[in-house]
Amino acid sequence: MDSRKPGRFLSFEGVDGAGKSTLLEALEGPLRARLGSRGLVRTREPGGTPLGEALRERMLSQDMDPLTETLAMFAARREHVVRVLAPALARGDWLLCDRFTDASFAYQGGGRGVDPARIAVLADWVQAGTVPDLTVLLDVPPAIAEERRSRARAADRFEAEPARFFEAVQAAYLARARAEPSRFLVLPGTAPTADSVAAVLARIAPWLD
């Protein structure tokens, strides 16, 4: 009988500028300390594999049809699931993933207007049952997120979209959270990072015992 504890998959979502990277950076150390000898993998989407990173570069810089963009996202995701996520979970590792399929429902569905039913079909086909145990959604006013983005870096193709795009993305994210409240932890993106780290650790505490 295999006595290993199961791996856990945590995804982190929010509009560009919500503070995901800051939260992940702050969470990784305390979580590693709690996990001890158990593995922890931090990764991102699109990306996480050589093919995924190449597709990411194209998607962030090259204009494309919304459905083409969606298919490219799921091509990168399939490689990510097969090469990184599923093997890590099979080893009993924990995963911290900067975006997963909820981002496709938010960005390609809410932002680009791709039919969510098409996205759902792709998700079922590509993920083969690989889904987050917990999704942390940082809820931040789009105007604050835009101000953060403008301070941090030059805008990529997504970040250059107008405010109405990010309002639609945020609305789609919140609709996902309302539909699956047991999977989502919605946190204010304007809260101190330490408070958000504490909230995530409190939510996953039963899995760490």
Structure tokens given for 160: 């250059």
Residue 131's closest CA among 169, 174, 173, 180? 180
Q: Is the pLDDT of residue 163 over 90?
A: no
Stretch 181-207: mean pLDDT: 97
- Angle between helix axes 142-152 and 163-179 (nearest 10 degrees) is 120
pLDDT in tens, 87-135: 999 999 999 999 999 999 999 999 999 999 999 999 999 999 999 999 9
pLDDT in tens, 16-36: 888 999 999 999 999 999 999
pLDDT in tens, 43-69: 999 999 999 999 999 999 999 999 999
Q: How many residues does the chain have?
A: 209
Confidence (pLDDT) at 204 = 98
User: Quick one: pLDDT band at residue 3, thresholds 50, 70, 90?
Assistant: low
Question: Is it true that the peptide bond before 46 is cis, omega within 30 degrees of 0?
Answer: yes
| Three-class secondary structure of residue 114 per DSSP | coil
CA–CA gap between residue 203 and residue 206 (Å, rounded): 8
Q: Is the pLDDT of residue 2 over 60?
A: no
CA dihedral sign of residues 191, 193, 198, 201: positive
**DSSP code, position 109:** I
Options 3.30.70.2860, 3.10.310.30, 3.40.50.300, 3.30.465.10; CATH of 8-208: 3.40.50.300
Average pLDDT, the chain: 93
User: Which residues make Cβ contacts (< 8 Å) with residue 131, sequence separation at least 6?
Assistant: 9, 101
Q: Is the pLDDT of residue 151 over 90?
A: no
Stretch 151-160: mean pLDDT: 76
pLDDT in tens, 189-198: 999 999 999 9
Domain ranges of the chain: 8-208
By CB atoms closer than 10 A (0-12, 13-18, 19+), residue 207 is middle
Q: Is the pLDDT of residue 1 over 70?
A: no
